[in-house]
Amino acid sequence: MPPSLRERIRLRLESWLLRRWFGSPASPADWLDRCLLLPLSGLTGWVSRRRRAAVLHLASNLRPAVVVVGNLVVGGTGKTPLVAELARTLTARGWRVGIIARGHRAHHTGPRLVTATDDARDQGDEPVLLARASAVPVACALRRAQALALLIATHPEIEVVLSDDALQHPGLARTLEIAVFDERGAGNGRLLPAGPLREPLAHLAGMDALVWRLPAGLPDGIAPAPAAGQPAAAAGWPTPDSALSAAPLPDRRFAFRLGATEWHPVGRGGAPARPDRAAGMEVPPRTLSIAQFAQACRGRRVHALAGIAQPERFFALARDLGLSLERTIVLPDHGLADAALLPPGAEVIIMTAKDAVKFESFDDPRCWFLEVRAHPDPALVDWLEDRLRGSSTD
């Protein structure tokens, strides 16, 4: 069936708010800001300050160490691919790593372990995606402290736990906090709902590191993050008029970028579609390189769907990778999947990996997803290792 009325209203509201937060600044005389949004932002500030005070009173000398990688702004910043890549890199360096997540809109809400073969409708899209991308133990729960307890009880060998988000979760003790931003910075610098901020930018001063996602189109290579005391406008960082550049930033600042690797058929547990059913393509459909997929899609009706915080970013990337898109379909972030959402007139349907874990059970051979991996500044992992070694000897 098509998206429900509730989902359509949610999608329209999200799109309107994002334009308002990250687009042209609202007029000071805007009655909506003055009469409704700003007073509600005051409530957000009061709640977030109480939560921050609670976080600061939590223990930090934990075993295993808990590293929270989260957002101060709503909407996608590339945090989840970064968590997966940090888990892979730390594992390759000899650390025993686990991940905890919340599992937005999952059927199950209690603490549970998540595996690569689980159904995203039951466990949530991001936990399943993390289990597949990282190949480390993953636990999730609405209360992340419960997920942490389950993970430790089940895998006592774990030395470091990465938490996908939870900066604003006062029930989770943590060793380190890493705040992630993208090229949008902090938008208009206001708190929800007048702006995109979950908590005041002043809280950044007490966090351990800031990680900046480099915008698309910058030269290859990781641009060095500005050091403490240097202007944040350096090398693709937020411009001087950004609310973020005026904030008291952490001393440690790093960068990362996202890069497309290859295309995969959307199949149960990552299984490939049958060669004779893979959208008529004449190559074994296990994976296709960026160039192979663009060639195979030439002259075909390609439709793209995305149920992520910034769908236009995915559509633009697909075009940059050589695809001509006949139609784009925007779905709500963390929205529910339904076979009726797959357009009947398409010969090829492309989507994100986050969408693929939700649509794979429908076994539609037209569906392919783009694998995207984070490429962090090596200095970020070096710093993280140094801090983890220090916490293990405290």
How many residues belong to the chain?
Answer: 394
Closest CA to 58 of 177, 199, 174: 174
Q: What is the pLDDT of residue 24?
A: 64
Q: What is the pLDDT of residue 5?
A: 76
Which domains does the chain show, CATH number per domain?
A: 50-257+375-392 (3.40.50.300), 260-374 (no CATH)
For the chain, give me the number of helices (H) and strands (E)?
11, 13
CA distance 292 to 262: 9
CA distance 86 to 375: 9
CB atoms within 10 A of CB 160: 26
Q: Could you tell me the mean pLDDT of each successive run of 10 residues in the chain, 394 residues long?
A: 70 83 67 79 96 90 94 92 98 98 84 94 92 97 96 98 96 96 90 95 96 74 52 53 79 93 79 41 70 96 94 96 97 84 95 95 93 95 96 57
Amino acid residing at 150: L
Q: Locate the DSSP E strands across the chain.
A: 65-71, 97-101, 112-114, 138-140, 160-164, 176-181, 209-213, 252-265, 288-289, 302-306, 325-330, 348-352, 367-376
CA distance 272 to 310: 27
**Burial of residue 100 (number of CB atoms within 10 Å: 0-12, 13-18, 19+):** buried
Say what angle helices 378-392 and 79-92 make with each other, to 10 degrees. 60
CB atoms within 10 A of CB 301: 16
Q: What is the pLDDT of residue 280?
A: 47
Q: What is the pLDDT of residue 278?
A: 45
Q: What is the pLDDT of residue 286?
A: 77
DSSP code of residue 206? G
Q: What is the pLDDT of residue 277?
A: 42
Q: What is the pLDDT of residue 282?
A: 47
- The three-state secondary structure class of 265 is strand
CA distance 229 to 358: 44
Closest CA to 123 of 104, 137, 136: 104
CA distance 271 to 285: 10
Q: What is the pLDDT of residue 34?
A: 67
The predicted model scores a pTM of 0.90
Closest CA to 129 of 363, 334, 287, 357: 357
Q: What is the pLDDT of residue 103?
A: 86
Show Cβ contacts of residue 369 under 8 Å, excluding neighbours closer than 6 positions: 263, 264, 266, 350, 351, 352, 353, 355, 356
